[in-house]
Amino acid sequence: MNLHHQDQLIADMGNLIVKGIEGKSKKDVLFLLRQAKPEAFLVDEGDVVTFENIAFKFEQDKLVAVGK
């Protein structure tokens, strides 16, 4: 798998995640991520949460994008 294909896959999966949990608060998303992999490296920096090197971006407490 080349880097461009991997980046596109992450973008596509990110869009599916955003649509799948639309309306969930940041608190709800953090709960789901911690349930999925409790030992994962997670950094909460306000509007961006990094989970295992994947960025979850929030606006007004709602998930708007997932990517690198």
- What pLDDT is recorded for position 1? 61
Report the C-alpha gap between 45 and 22 in whole angstroms. Answer: 21
DSSP letter at 47 equals: S
Report the C-alpha gap between 47 and 61 in whole angstroms. Answer: 8
- What pLDDT is recorded for position 61? 92
Task: Give the tens place of pLDDT for each residue, 3-35.
Answer: 777 777 777 777 777 777 777 899 999 988 899
- What pLDDT is recorded for position 45? 94
Of 44, 51, 47, residue with least CA distance to 17: 51
Task: Give the tens place of pLDDT for each residue, 41-63.
Answer: 999 999 999 998 889 999 999 98
pTM here?
A: 0.78
- What pLDDT is recorded for position 6? 73
Residues 6+ apart with CB under 8 A from 24: 32, 62, 63
Q: Cβ distance 39 to 5 under 8 Å? A: no
